[in-house]
Amino acid sequence: MASSGQKVVLITGCSSGIGLQIAVLLAKDEKKRYHVIATMRDVKKKDKLVEAAGDAYGKTLTLQPLDVCSDNSVRQCINSVKDRHIDILINNAGIGLLGPIESISVEEMKRVFETNFFGVVRMIKEVMPDMKKRRSGHIVVMSSVMGLQGVVFNDVYTASKFAMEGFCESLAVQLLKFNVNVSMIEPGPVHTEFETKMMEDVAKMEYPGADADTVRYFKDVYIPSSTDIFEAMGQTPEDIAKCTQKVIE
């Protein structure tokens, strides 16, 4: 439980990557300013987080199950927090989807929106009433540079992040008078399982029905140049965690 003066921070998608690092960085804060509720949809995956959190686990960091695609799971998770009181919500959970739309079913596309867009909306709807009532709070959303610029064969992922950008810009204006901040973080490439999986997907990718010039551009120009950019400029999850901490301070 949070002690007085500590901010309660709830983070989604803490089983790996950026979410895990944000949870650990905040939980290990020297001044113990945060009580972190680290969430993940399958708590059997907690070992990496528990190990990285070390002594903070069970003290400034507690774990809760949460699937952002389930109304019930979201409600249960927020109800488990004392007085449903969350000072900072960090919407980090997200999934990618790569490929020409000819090879992707609408069901798969909906899954991306269900996680990256409605997952965030669900969380915000649950925590916002208390933040407005207390006239204090901060909602952070992990968008992407792809929330600002379209990228070939990343149509659906890009669209889900664009949608989130529009939603949050609009919401931020409405929440200003309640002293509730809304912030977007827009990382470029980050070395996580997300990126590894994307590269594996590229290797297996098929292009039925896609235009030959676009496929050639994607394989011969886009992938080699993004691999170079990744190697030269790719950030670590720790970099993004530090940036997130700056945003909420």
The residues annotated as belonging to the active site are 157
With binding defined as CB under 6 A, does residue 18 bind ligand NDP? yes
Buried b (16+ CB within 10 A) or exposed e, 149-185: eeeebbbbbbbbbbbbbebbeebeeebeeeebbbbbb
Pick 104 or 136: Cβ nearer ligand NDP: 104
Residue 13 assigned as binding residue: yes
With binding defined as CB under 6 A, does residue 244 bind ligand NDP? no
Give the Cα separation of 22 and 92 in Å (integer): 9
Nearest to 236 by CA among 187, 184, 185: 187
With binding defined as CB under 6 A, does residue 154 bind ligand NDP? no
With binding defined as CB under 6 A, does residue 12 bind ligand NDP? yes
- Phi, psi of 89, deg, nearest 5: -110, 120
| Signed CA dihedral, 99, 102, 103, 106: sign only | positive
Least Å distance between CB 248 and ligand NDP? 16
Pick 173 or 229: Cβ nearer ligand NDP: 229
Give the Cα separation of 95 and 93 in Å (integer): 7
Query: Which one of residues 60, 62, 144, 226 is an interface residue with ligand NDP (CB under 6 A)?
Result: 144
Binding site for ligand NDP (CB under 6 A): 12-13, 15-19, 40-42, 45, 66-69, 92-95, 115, 119, 142, 144, 187, 189-190, 192-195
